[in-house]
């Protein structure tokens, strides 16, 4: 437990923590991460953004996959790792929580919307690629379950897509800018549950380190950025983080 104490020391000294999360912060909520084989994400092929735009068969595959994965995400509840991040915020230490997740669990755990930046969008909404109107994902799920293979916009008939970022799709400019600003301003970058191989998201902790902030990583498996970190803990986030926060 020496490493938990080392993490607690970093948290205690910090005033502006940038928390950077990936799928691993939500596995204890029952949402499998991306890289575990045989999971819900593997049953249908990944659809790249350009294919989705031009190929009706790719659109069909996209919504088939989404129809199956959405209920898992919708049913999930925040776990002790999400709650411990909220505790850091209540202690006045959280600058920003930058997440690659689309599950909305940081907000549901109690973080204010302005404390969370979603680099890969949000799965609770669907957006029309033509008129930008937004529809709750629940309403679209009802259509899919009723047999619609590729849903279209009720307002303009345009193509709908989850308000999430697909492979090959640009990240939201404002979210990325806010994350980069926080990387420059933070005095600690705490990475939780990310393999740190998905770019440009993984640039955020790199940038924080370049600006002089210490980096701590809680991740079950090794990451390419471990050498950059002051503290690396390869255990469950839902156990380690609450234990460290309890020492503050």
Residue 120 contact, options Zn ion, ligand NAD, none, Cβ 5-8 Å cut-off depending on partner type: ligand NAD
- Least separation in angstroms between CB 124 and ligand NAD: 11
Residue 3 CB, shortest distance to ligand NAD, in Å, is 13
- Does residue 154 belong to the site contacting Zn ion (CB under 5 A)? no
Distance of closest approach, residue 118 Cβ to ligand NAD, in angstroms: 9
d(C-alpha 103, C-alpha 118), whole Å: 10
Q: Residue 42 has what DSSP assignment?
A: G
Q: Does 137 bind ligand NAD (CB under 6 A)?
A: no
Listed residue (78, 119, 76, 75) closest to 97, CA to CA: 119
Kindly write out the interface string for residues 162-201 of this chain, putting x where it contacts ligand NAD by CB under 6 A and - elsewhere: -------------------------------xxx--x---
Please, are residues 217 and 227 in contact by the beta-carbon 8 Å criterion?
no
Footprint on residues 116-135 left by Zn ion (CB under 5 A): 128, 130-131
Q: How many whole angstroms separate alpha carbon 88 and alpha carbon 241?
A: 10
Query: Which residues, listed in sequence order, are joined to residue 17 by a DSSP beta bridge?
Result: 94, 188
> Shortest distance, CB of residue 100 to ligand NAD, whole angstroms?
4
Which residues ranging from 52 to 111 are in contact with ligand NAD (CB under 6 A)? 100-103
Q: Which of 33, 51, 89, 187 binds ligand NAD (CB under 6 A)?
A: 33
Q: Which residue has the tokens 């986030």?
A: 237
Nearest residue to 182 via CA among 21, 16, 23, 25: 16
82 carries an active-site annotation: no
State the minimum distance, in angstroms, from the CB of residue 115 to ligand NAD.
Answer: 17
Q: Coil, helix or strand for 35?
A: coil
156 binds, among Zn ion, ligand NAD, none (CB under 5 to 8 A by kind): Zn ion
DSSP class per residue in 193-238: S--S-STTTTHHHHHHHHTT--EEEE-SS--TTGGG-SEEE-S-HH
Cα-Cα-Cα-Cα dihedral sign, residues 229, 230, 236, 239: negative
The H or E element spanning position 128 is: strand 121-128
Contact of residue 51 among Zn ion, ligand NAD, none (CB under 5-8 Å per partner type): none
Q: Which is nearer to ligand NAD, 34 or 48 (CB)?
A: 34
Tell me the number of residues near ligand NAD by CB under 6 A. 26
The 3-state secondary structure of 149-181 reads: CCCECCCCCCEEEEEECCCCCCCCHHHHHHHHH
Q: Which does 226 bind (CB under 5 to 8 A by kind): Zn ion, ligand NAD, none?
A: none
Tokens read off for 95: 């600058």
For residue 237, state whether it binds ligand NAD (rule: CB under 6 A): yes
Q: Which positions touch ligand NAD (CB under 6 A)? A: 22-24, 26-28, 31, 33-35, 100-103, 120, 193-195, 198, 218-221, 236-238
């Amino acid at each position: 437990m020496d490493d938990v104490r080392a993490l607690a020391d970093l948290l205690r000294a910090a005033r502006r923590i940038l928390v950077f999360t990936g799928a691993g912060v939500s596995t204890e909520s029952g949402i499998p991460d991306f890289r575990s084989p045989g999971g819900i994400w593997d049953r249908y092929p990944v659809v790249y953004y350009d294919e989705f735009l031009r190929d009706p068969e790719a659109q069909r595959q996209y919504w088939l996959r989404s129809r199956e994965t959405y209920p898992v995400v919708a049913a999930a509840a925040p776990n002790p790792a999400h709650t411990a991040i909220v505790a850091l915020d209540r202690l006045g230490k959280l600058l920003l929580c930058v997440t690659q997740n689309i599950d909305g669990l940081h907000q549901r755990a109690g973080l204010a919307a302005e404390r969370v930046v979603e680099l890969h969008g949000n799965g609770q909404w669907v957006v029309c690629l033509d008129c930008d109107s937004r529809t709750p994902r629940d309403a679209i799920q009802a259509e899919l379950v009723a047999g619609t293979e590729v849903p279209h916009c009720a307002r303009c008939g345009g193509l709908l897509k989850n308000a999430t970022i697909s492979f090959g799709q640009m990240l939201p400019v404002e979210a990325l800018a806010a994350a980069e600003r926080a990387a420059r301003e933070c005095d600690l970058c705490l990475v939780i549950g990310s393999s740190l191989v998905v770019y440009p998201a993984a640039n955020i902790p790199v940038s924080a380190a370049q600006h002089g902030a210490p980096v701590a990583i809680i991740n079950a498996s090794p990451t390419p950025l471990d050498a950059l970190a002051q503290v690396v803990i390869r255990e469950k986030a839902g156990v380690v983080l609450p234990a460290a926060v309890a020492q503050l």
